[in-house]
Structure 1
């Protein structure tokens, strides 16, 4: 079972971050999940042009600090019709840190009570380093598709990010199975 690593609520220009720390350790792997709730989607789309993002609050999984980057109009012109989502490892510039092997996925959550992800993107292992601290999905969901879907409710939607950090390089392949199911936890999370 993965740990709840927090929730960030983005409301147009405003950001509210609720953090809970927890660590799940098994066979050299730590796992956790973070929820990014976007309220006022149409405002974020209007105020943040292609290439500009809104970030979540930082959260901890596997002993590392992370944040999510939400690009309402895509990371760059090649994905300007899409929402882009990236996971970023926050490095301490004073410390020479080793590469971090991570398996993660993003899912667009369809109505919390149904606990069904509409989209699940990204399930392979990535190597985060000080030179490449960010990995993600440039074409996570086409904006037009989201706007016509039941995932956008009252101008709001939720992205779940599930993360497994490989502590021991020998367990990288063993951890390569499936990510823990974050959707089993949603009934305990309430955000007004």
Structure 2
């Protein structure tokens, strides 16, 4: 069955370190033909003097992973002993962009040997999430493997821990020189760090508010204290906090937009796009429309093209808010759902 589907691999660059872009042609056919535990293997590619392949299981491996795609990096060099490597396995979007939410890196260097020839992820990505996000282009799934071979004589430079030191600075409030009052709570920070990470904070803290902010706390309205704490956590560590869920992503998306923190906006929008359901879609659509988040709006529209999803949305808690705050987006949605042959009906709806 595997002859009907294939993995094509292309090396991007490097010698000891390389990126390999892999394309799973006919994703849907591979999923239909291959059972759980059956996979495809890419053509070998060479990195650091060794041959490697990617093993792709469209219906998971082992047996308890049928809802997931499993993905593994495998050493193919015969007789190789204890090959140390760092690697990252990622999903690429329709336009070849890296999707941070679907990029997996082990927390330690892996050793490939005769006993353990492959490393990877049983639950690399949930099939339903991948298909709901419409990341497939012409039924082709594009993946990327970044691999660095670590030779024994090399000294491995530890990863940067700047985020940890800055996180400790925020936690311990050492030399904090600005205080915010959020939801009745005082929160201390460092104006230089905030200014370096946000053009809005820079304008506020080193502009007209400089003198007043030094004398008294800055009142932050229309934001909960835990959301502002999470915003500060990202500013100092460049990572979202452990309690980052879909609800927090919605609040943080607004906060990131308010303070012009681009990377956080992308992370939050990606989180919301990957967790659209009938309970949350009305709230997410209102958020997208009110703040101009086009990608989130398109994802909501795509979800609501299903009549059953649309009907479930109208029974959700967020529907009344969407109807009262953004009636025009509902008209746009309905006009988009109506088949193109009813153009006159679309024109009438858009004028109501």
TM-score range, shorter chain: 0.7 to 0.9
Tell whether the 8 Å contact from 1:109 to 1:117 is kept in structure 2 after alignment. Answer: no
Match of 2:81 in 1: 98
- 1:153 paired to 2:144: no
Match of 2:4 in 1: 13
Deviates more, 1:108-117 or 1:133-142: 108-117
Deviates more, 1:98-107 or 1:162-171: 162-171
Tell whether the 8 Å contact from 1:35 to 1:160 is kept in structure 2 after alignment. Answer: yes
Tell whether the 8 Å contact from 1:39 to 1:156 is kept in structure 2 after alignment. Answer: yes
Tell whether the 8 Å contact from 2:84 to 2:150 is kept in structure 1 after alignment. Answer: yes
Displacement of 1:36 in angstroms is 1.4
Tell whether the 8 Å contact from 1:109 to 1:118 is kept in structure 2 after alignment. Answer: no
Alignment size in residue pairs: 158
Give the 5 Å matches for 1:112-191.
112-123=95-106, 124-168=108-152, 170-172=154-156, 174=157, 176-177=158-159
Tell whether the 8 Å contact from 2:10 to 2:21 is kept in structure 1 after alignment. Answer: no
Tell whether the 8 Å contact from 2:12 to 2:20 is kept in structure 1 after alignment. Answer: no
Which of 71, 81, 84 aligns to 2:67? It is 81
Deviates more, 1:162-171 or 1:40-49: 162-171
For normalisation by structure 2, the TM-score amounts to 0.41
Tell whether the 8 Å contact from 2:53 to 2:73 is kept in structure 1 after alignment. Answer: yes
Displacement of 1:167 in angstroms is 1.0
Displacement of 1:20 in angstroms is 5.3
Structure of greater Rg: 2
Aligned residue for 2:29, secondary structure, equals helix
Q: Over aligned residues, Cα RMSD in angstroms?
A: 2.3
Match of 2:164 in 1: none
Structure 2 spans left out of the alignment, 5+ residues: 161-352
CA distance in 2, matches of 1:159, 1:34: 8
String of CA shifts for 1:81-138, please: whole Å, max 9, x gaps. Answer: 000000000131xx4x320111101000012354544411123311100110010111
String of CA shifts for 1:35-70, please: whole Å, max 9, x gaps. Answer: 111121110001110001100000000110000000
Match of 2:58 in 1: 72
Structure 1's 79 and 127: CA in aligned 2 closer, same or farther, altered over 3 A? Answer: same
Match of 1:110 in 2: 93
Return the structure number with greater strand share.
1
For normalisation by structure 1, the TM-score amounts to 0.73
Greater relative CO (CA pairs within 8 A, separation 6+):
1
CA distance in 2, matches of 1:144, 1:16: 21
Match of 1:36 in 2: 22
Match of 2:286 in 1: none
